[in-house]
Chains A and B, each alone.
Chain A
Amino acid sequence: MHWRRWLVPLSALPVLALLAWGLTRDAHTIPSPLPGKPAPDFALRTLSGDSLRLRDLTGQPVLVNFWASWCLACRGEHQVLVDAAQRYGPKGLRVIGVVYEDTRENARQWIAERGGDWPNVLDVGSHTAIQYGLFGVPETFFIARDGRIVYKQIGPLDPAAIDQWVPKLLASSAATGPNVPEQPFAQGKSEGYVRTSPDFPATRGTTKPN
Chain B
Amino acid sequence: MNAWIGHIATLVALLVAGGGAAAAFFAGRTGDARYMQGARRAGVLVFVLVLIAFATMERALITHDFSVSYVAQVGSRTTPLFYTVISLWSALEGSILLWALILSAYTALLVRWSRRHYTEPNGDSQVPYALGTLLAVNVFFLLLISWPANPFRILSPAPLDGPGPNALLQNSPFMGVHPPLLYTGYVGMSVPFSLAIGALLAGRLGTDWPKRIRRWTMVPWTFLSLGILAGAWWSYEVLGWGGYWAWDPVENASFMPWLTATAFLHSVMVQERRGMLKMWTITLIVSTFLLTVLGTFLTRSGVLASVHAFTQSPIGPFFLVFLAIVLLGSLALLAWRSETLESEGRFDAVLSRETAFMINNLLFAAFAFVVLLGTMFPLIAEAVRGAKVSVGGPYFNELSVPIALLLVFLAGVGPALPWRKGSLELMRGKFRWPFVAALGVAVLLVVFGVRQPLALLTFALAVFAAGLLIEEFATPARARRRNTGESLPLALARVIGSNRRRYGGYIVHSGILVIAVGIAASATFRKEAEWTLRRGTAADIGRYRVQFDSVWAVKEPNRDGVIAATTITTAGQPFTKLYPRLNYYPTAIEPIGTPAVRESLREDLYLVLMAYTQDGQQATLKAIASPLVGWIWLGGGIVALGAILALWRSRAEAERQARAIDRGGEAVRHTAPVH
For the complex, give the distance between the alpha carbons of A72 and B559 in Å. Answer: 11
Q: Which residues of A contact B320 (CB under 8 A)?
A: 16, 19-20, 23
A9-B611 in contact (CB<8A)? no
Q: Which residues of A contact B327 (CB under 8 A)?
A: 12, 15-16
- Is the CB of A210 closer than 8 A to any CB of chain B? yes
A128-141 toward B: CB 8 Å interface, digit per residue (1/0)? 00000000101000
Among B352-411, those with CB < 8 Å from A are 376, 378-380, 382-383, 388
**A18 touches which of B304, B309, B334, B380 (Cβ 8 Å):** B380
Task: Name which of A9, A30, A156 has the most chain B CB atoms within 10 A of its CB.
Answer: A9
For the complex, give the distance between the alpha carbons of A1 and B376 in Å. Answer: 32
For the complex, give the distance between the alpha carbons of A8 and B309 in Å. Answer: 31
Q: Which residues of B contact A16 (CB under 8 A)?
A: 320, 323-324, 327-328
B323-A208 in contact (CB<8A)? no
Q: Which residues of A contact B334 (CB under 8 A)?
A: 8
A145-174 toward B: CB 8 Å interface, digit per residue (1/0)? 000000000011000000000000000000
- Is the CB of B536 closer than 8 A to any CB of chain A? no
Among B298-313, those with CB < 8 Å from A are 298, 301-305, 307, 309, 311-312
- Determine chain B's interface SS by DSSP, over half rule: mixed
Known: A19-B323, A210-B611. A9 touches B304 (CB 8 A): no
Q: Which residues of B contact A71 (CB under 8 A)?
A: 589
For the complex, give the distance between the alpha carbons of A72 and B562 in Å. Answer: 14
- Is the CB of B498 closer than 8 A to any CB of chain A? no
B302-A28 in contact (CB<8A)? yes
**A209 touches which of B309, B324, B582 (Cβ 8 Å):** B582
For the complex, give the distance between the alpha carbons of A8 and B279 in Å. Answer: 13
B590-A1 in contact (CB<8A)? no
- Residue in chain A with minimal CB distance to B311: A198
A209-B388 in contact (CB<8A)? no
- Residue in chain B with minimal CB distance to A23: B316
**B328 touches which of A12, A21, A22 (Cβ 8 Å):** A12
A40-48, A54-62, A199-207 - interface stretch: A199-207
- Residue in chain B with minimal CB distance to A137: B589
B383-A21 in contact (CB<8A)? yes
- Is the CB of B614 closer than 8 A to any CB of chain A? yes
Q: Which residues of B contact A199 (CB under 8 A)?
A: 166, 311
Known: A22-B379, A72-B584, A207-B611. A12 touches B562 (CB 8 A): no
B331-A8 in contact (CB<8A)? yes
Q: Which residues of A contact B382 (CB under 8 A)?
A: 25
Known: A22-B379, A199-B166. A207 touches B590 (CB 8 A): yes
A12 to chain B, nearest CB (A): 5
B273-317 toward A: CB 8 Å interface, digit per residue (1/0)? 000000000000000000000000110011111010101100011
- Residue in chain A with minimal CB distance to B330: A9
B296 to chain A, nearest CB (A): 12
- Is the CB of B339 closer than 8 A to any CB of chain A? yes
A72-B588 in contact (CB<8A)? yes
A209 to chain B, nearest CB (A): 6
**A72 touches which of B309, B312, B335, B586 (Cβ 8 Å):** B586
A27-B331 in contact (CB<8A)? no
For the complex, give the distance between the alpha carbons of A8 and B337 in Å. Answer: 13
- Residue in chain A with minimal CB distance to B91: A199
B571-588 toward A: CB 8 Å interface, digit per residue (1/0)? 000000000001011101
For the complex, give the distance between the alpha carbons of A156 and B163 in Å. Answer: 15
Q: Which residues of B contact A1 (CB under 8 A)?
A: 338-339
- Is the CB of B601 closer than 8 A to any CB of chain A? no
Q: Which residues of A contact B376 (CB under 8 A)?
A: 18
A25-B303 in contact (CB<8A)? yes
Q: Which residues of A contact B590 (CB under 8 A)?
A: 136, 201, 204, 206-207
- Residue in chain A with minimal CB distance to B390: A203
A4 to chain B, nearest CB (A): 9
- Is the CB of A92 closer than 8 A to any CB of chain B? no
For the complex, give the distance between the alpha carbons of A76 and B312 in Å. Answer: 22
For the complex, give the distance between the alpha carbons of A138 and B590 in Å. Answer: 11
For the complex, give the distance between the alpha carbons of A210 and B620 in Å. Answer: 10
- Is the CB of B483 closer than 8 A to any CB of chain A? no
Known: A1-B338, A23-B320. A200 touches B589 (CB 8 A): yes
**B614 touches which of A5, A136, A200, A210 (Cβ 8 Å):** A210
B305-A9 in contact (CB<8A)? no
For the complex, give the distance between the alpha carbons of A76 and B588 in Å. Answer: 11
- Is the CB of B332 closer than 8 A to any CB of chain A? yes
A209-B305 in contact (CB<8A)? no
For the complex, give the distance between the alpha carbons of A8 and B334 in Å. Answer: 9
- Is the CB of B121 closer than 8 A to any CB of chain A? no
Q: Which residues of B contact A23 (CB under 8 A)?
A: 301-303, 316-317, 320
For the complex, give the distance between the alpha carbons of A155 and B311 in Å. Answer: 14
For the complex, give the distance between the alpha carbons of A207 and B609 in Å. Answer: 10
Q: Which residues of B contact A208 (CB under 8 A)?
A: 611
B589-A136 in contact (CB<8A)? yes
A73-B589 in contact (CB<8A)? yes
- Is the CB of B591 closer than 8 A to any CB of chain A? yes
- Is the CB of A31 closer than 8 A to any CB of chain B? yes
Q: Which residues of B contact A113 (CB under 8 A)?
A: none
- Residue in chain B with minimal CB distance to A71: B589
- Is the CB of B156 closer than 8 A to any CB of chain A? no
Task: Name which of A6, A27, A138 has the most chain B CB atoms within 10 A of its CB.
Answer: A27
- Is the CB of A50 closer than 8 A to any CB of chain B? no
Q: Which residues of A contact B591 (CB under 8 A)?
A: 72, 207, 209
Q: Which residues of B contact A76 (CB under 8 A)?
A: 586
- Is the CB of B244 closer than 8 A to any CB of chain A? no
- Residue in chain B with minimal CB distance to A202: B305
B379-A8 in contact (CB<8A)? no
B331 to chain A, nearest CB (A): 4
Q: Which residues of B contact A12 (CB under 8 A)?
A: 327-328, 331
A27-B612 in contact (CB<8A)? no
Known: A20-B320, A21-B383, A198-B311. A5 touches B562 (CB 8 A): no
Q: Which residues of A contact B331 (CB under 8 A)?
A: 8-9, 12
B243 to chain A, nearest CB (A): 14
For the complex, give the distance between the alpha carbons of A112 and B298 in Å. Answer: 47
B589-A28 in contact (CB<8A)? no
A27-B611 in contact (CB<8A)? no
- A residues adjacent to B (C-beta < 8 A): 1, 5-6, 8-9, 12, 15-16, 18-23, 25-28, 30-31, 71-73, 76, 136, 138, 155-156, 198-201, 204, 206-210
20 A-B pairs in the complex with CB atoms less than 8 angstroms apart? A5-B335, A6-B335, A8-B334, A9-B331, A18-B380, A18-B383, A19-B303, A19-B320, A20-B320, A21-B383, A26-B312, A27-B305, A31-B388, A72-B584, A72-B588, A199-B311, A201-B590, A204-B590, A206-B590, A207-B593
14 additional A-B residue pairs with CB within 8 Å, beyond A12-B328, A25-B303, A72-B588: A5-B335, A6-B335, A16-B323, A18-B376, A25-B379, A26-B302, A27-B302, A28-B312, A30-B388, A73-B588, A155-B589, A200-B589, A207-B591, A210-B613
In the A-B complex, the 6 residue pairs with the closest CB atoms:
A9-B331, A22-B303, A27-B305, A73-B589, A198-B311, A5-B335
